[in-house]
Amino acid sequence: MALGMAEVAYFLYRHAMRYNSTSPKWFNRDRFVLSAGHGCLLQYVCLHFASFQSVQIEDLKCLCKLGSQTPGHPENVVTQGIEVTTGPLGQGVANAVGLALAEANLGARYNKPDVAVVDHRTYCIMGDGCSMEGISNESASLAAHWKLHKLTLIYDDNHNTIDGSTDLALSEDISARFEALGWNTITMDNSEGNLDAFKNALISAHSETRKPTFIRVKTIIGKLSKKEGTSKAHHGTFDDDDVKQMKQRVKWDDREPFHVIPMVYRETRAQTDIGGRLEQEWHSKLNYYQNKYPEEAAEFKLLLADRMLPGWESSLPKWSMSDPVDSTRGYSGKCLNTLAKVLPGLIGGSADLASSNQAYLHNLGDFKQPDSPWGRNIRYGVREHAMAGISNGLALHGGGLIPFAATFLVFSDYMKNSVRLSALSHAGVLYILTHDSVGIGEDGPTHQPIEHLAGLRAIPHLLLFRPADGKETAGAYKVAIENRSVPSLLALSRQKVAANVEGTLADAVRKGGYIVSNKSEKELPEIILIGTRSELCLCEASANVLRKEGTRVRVVSLVCWRLFDRQPRDYKEFVLPSSVSKRVSVEAGSPLGWKEYVGDEGIVMGIDDFGSSGPYSEVFNKYGFTEENVTKTAKSLLTK
Amino acid sequence: MALGMAEVAYFLYRHAMRYNSTSPKWFNRDRFVLSAGHGCLLQYVCLHFASFQSVQIEDLKCLCKLGSQTPGHPENVVTQGIEVTTGPLGQGVANAVGLALAEANLGARYNKPDVAVVDHRTYCIMGDGCSMEGISNESASLAAHWKLHKLTLIYDDNHNTIDGSTDLALSEDISARFEALGWNTITMDNSEGNLDAFKNALISAHSETRKPTFIRVKTIIGKLSKKEGTSKAHHGTFDDDDVKQMKQRVKWDDREPFHVIPMVYRETRAQTDIGGRLEQEWHSKLNYYQNKYPEEAAEFKLLLADRMLPGWESSLPKWSMSDPVDSTRGYSGKCLNTLAKVLPGLIGGSADLASSNQAYLHNLGDFKQPDSPWGRNIRYGVREHAMAGISNGLALHGGGLIPFAATFLVFSDYMKNSVRLSALSHAGVLYILTHDSVGIGEDGPTHQPIEHLAGLRAIPHLLLFRPADGKETAGAYKVAIENRSVPSLLALSRQKVAANVEGTLADAVRKGGYIVSNKSEKELPEIILIGTRSELCLCEASANVLRKEGTRVRVVSLVCWRLFDRQPRDYKEFVLPSSVSKRVSVEAGSPLGWKEYVGDEGIVMGIDDFGSSGPYSEVFNKYGFTEENVTKTAKSLLTK
Closest CA to A28 of A109, A92, A125, A106: A106
**Banded pLDDT at A32 (limits 50, 70, 90):** confident
CB contact under 8 A, A414 and B133: yes
Beta carbons of B444 and A356 less than 8 Å apart: no
Candidates B76, B446, B595, B619: best to mutate against A (most CBs of A within 10 A) is B446
pLDDT for A406 equals: 98
A-B contacts at Cβ under 8 angstroms? 336
Chain B residues touching residue A89 (CB < 8 angstroms): 382
- Same domain for A543 and A587: yes
Instruction: Tell whether residue B87 is among the known ligand binding residues.
Output: yes
Q: Which residue has the higher pLDDT, A247 or B289?
A: B289
Q: Which of A497, A523, A553 is the last residue of a domain?
A: A497
pLDDT value, residue A37: 57
Q: Which of B452, B473, B497 is the last residue of a domain?
A: B497
Which DSSP state fits B500?
S
The alpha carbon of residue B598 is apart from the nearest alpha carbon of chain A, in Å, by: 9
Asked if B20 and B166 sit in the same domain, the reply is yes
- Binning pLDDT at 50, 70 and 90, where does residue B261 land? confident
Identity (one letter) of the amino acid at A513? G
Q: Which of B228, B384, B540, B587 is catalytic?
A: B384
Query: What average pLDDT does range A389-397 have in this prediction?
Result: 97
For residues B474 and B553, state if they share a domain.
no
Q: Does residue B242 sit within a domain?
A: no
**CA distances in angstroms from B485 to B76, B232, B397, B416, listed in the order given:** 12, 38, 13, 18
Residues B490 and B522 in one domain: no
pLDDT band at A236 (very low <50, low <70, confident <90, very high): low
Confidence of residue A320 (pLDDT cuts 50, 70, 90): confident
The answer to whether the CB of A128 falls within 8 A of the CB of A160 is yes
Q: Give CA–CA dist A58/B210, Å, rounded.
A: 55
Q: How confident is the model at residue A119 (pLDDT cuts 50, 70, 90)?
A: very high
pLDDT at B500: 82
CB contacts, 8 Å: A614 with chain B:
64-68
B92 labeled part of a ligand binding site: no
The pLDDT value recorded for residue B236 is 64
Whichever domain contains B577, its CATH number is 3.40.50.920
Helix axes B91-110, B384-396, angle to 10 degrees: 60
Mean pLDDT computed over A509-515? 98
pLDDT reported for residue B22: 56
Instruction: Give the H/E segment covering residue A516.
Output: strand A514-517
Quick check: is A490 in a domain?
Answer: yes
pLDDT tens for each residue of A242-276 = 888 888 888 887 788 888 888 888 888 888 888 88
Nearest to A377 by CA among A399, A356, A406: A406
Q: Annotated binding site for Mg(2+): which residue ranges of A? A: 128, 158
The yes-or-no verdict on residue B49 having pLDDT over 90 is: no
Residue B254, domain member (yes or no): no
A558 and A528 Cβ atoms separated by less than 8 Å:
no
Residue B89 is labelled as binding a ligand: yes
Secondary structure in 3-state letters for B527-577: EEEEECHHHHHHHHHHHHHHHHCCCCEEEEECCCHHHHHCCCHHHHHHHCC
**Average pLDDT of B81-94?**
93
What burial letters (b/e) apply to A150-163, b meaning 16+ CB within 10 Å? Answer: bbbbbbbbbbbbbb
Q: Which of A44-58, A80-94, B99-113 has the lowest mean pLDDT?
A: A44-58
Nearest-5° Cα angle at A518, A589 to A585 = 15
* Residue A513 pLDDT > 90: yes
Instruction: Give mean pLDDT, residues A56-67.
Output: 92
Do A346 and A464 reside in the same domain of the chain?
yes
pLDDT of residue A153: 96
Closest C-alpha among A135, A186, A43 to residue A393: A135
B536 and B488 co-located in one domain: no
For residue A488, which amino acid is it? Answer: S
Split into its structural domains, chain A has a count of 3
Same domain, B433 and B512: no
Quick check: A169 and B380 in contact, CB under 8 A? yes
Residues B333-354 have pLDDT tens digits of: 999 999 999 999 999 999 999 9
Q: What is the mean pLDDT of residues A304-323?
A: 90
A118 confidence band (pLDDT: 50, 70, 90) = very high
Determine, yes or no, domain membership for B568.
yes
Q: Which domain holds residue B537?
A: 507-638
A294 domain residue, yes or no: no
Is residue B430 within a helix (H) or strand (E), and if so which, with residue range? Answer: strand B430-434
Burial degree of B209 (CB within 10 A; 0-12, 13-18, 19+): exposed
For A620, which residue in chain B has the nearest alpha carbon?
B66
**The pLDDT of residue B417 is above 60:** yes
What's the pLDDT band for B20 if we cut at 50, 70, 90?
low
**Same-domain pairing of A75 and A178:** yes
pLDDT (mean) for A139-158: 96
B465 and B611 part of one domain: no
Report whether pLDDT(A22) > 60.
no
Residue A38 has pLDDT above 80, yes or no: no
Residues 6 or more apart from B404 whose CB is under 8 A from it? B336, B346, B347, B348, B349, B359, B391, B429, B430, B431, B432
- Residue A627 in this model has a pLDDT that exceeds 90: yes
Element (H, E) at B457: helix B452-457
Preceding omega of A370 cis (within 30 degrees of 0): yes
Which residues, other chains included, contact B316 with Cβ-Cβ below 8 Å and sequence gap of 6+?
B335, B338, B339, B474, B477, B478, B506
Q: Which residues of A touch B64 (CB under 8 A)?
A: 442, 444, 613-614
CATH of the domain at B350: 3.40.50.970
With cut-offs at 50, 70 and 90, classify the pLDDT of residue B565.
Answer: very high
Residue ranges of the binding site of A for substrate? 234, 329, 356, 435, 443, 447, 494
Query: Both B121 and B164 in a single domain?
Result: yes
> Does any domain span residue A297?
no
Query: Phi first, then psi: what are they for A554, rounded to 5°?
Result: -105, 140
- B-chain residues near A423 (CB < 8 A): 610
For residue A114, pLDDT beyond 90: yes
Mean pLDDT of A30-44: 78
Average pLDDT, integer, range A526-534: 96
Contact A413 B423 (CB under 8 A): no
∠ CA A337-B168-B142, nearest 5°, is 120
Pick from B307, B280, B302: which is nearest to B288 by CA? Answer: B280
Q: What is the DSSP string of A228-268?
A: TTSGGGTSS---HHHHHHHHHHTT-TTPPTT---HHHHHHH
Phi and psi at A45, nearest 5°, equal -60, -45
Task: Work out the percent of chain B whose per-residue pLDDT is above 70.
Answer: 96
For residue range B448-501, what is the model confidence (pLDDT) as tens digits?
Answer: 999 999 999 999 999 999 999 999 999 999 999 999 999 999 999 999 988 788
Q: Do both B69 and B175 map to the same domain?
A: yes
Give yes or no: residues B199 and B90 share one domain: yes
**A288 vs chain B: nearest CA distance in angstroms?**
37
Please report whether residue B54 resides in a domain: yes
Distance from CA of B87 to the nearest CA of A (A): 6
Q: Is B447 annotated as a binding residue?
A: yes
For residues B288-294, average pLDDT: 98
- What does the alpha-carbon distance between residue A429 and residue A450 come to, in Å, rounded to a whole number? 23
Q: Could you give the CA distance from residue B584 to residue B496 in angstroms, rounded to a whole number?
A: 24
pLDDT digit string, tens, across residues A338-380: 999 999 999 999 999 999 999 999 999 999 999 999 999 999 9
Better-scored residue on pLDDT, B231 or A392: A392
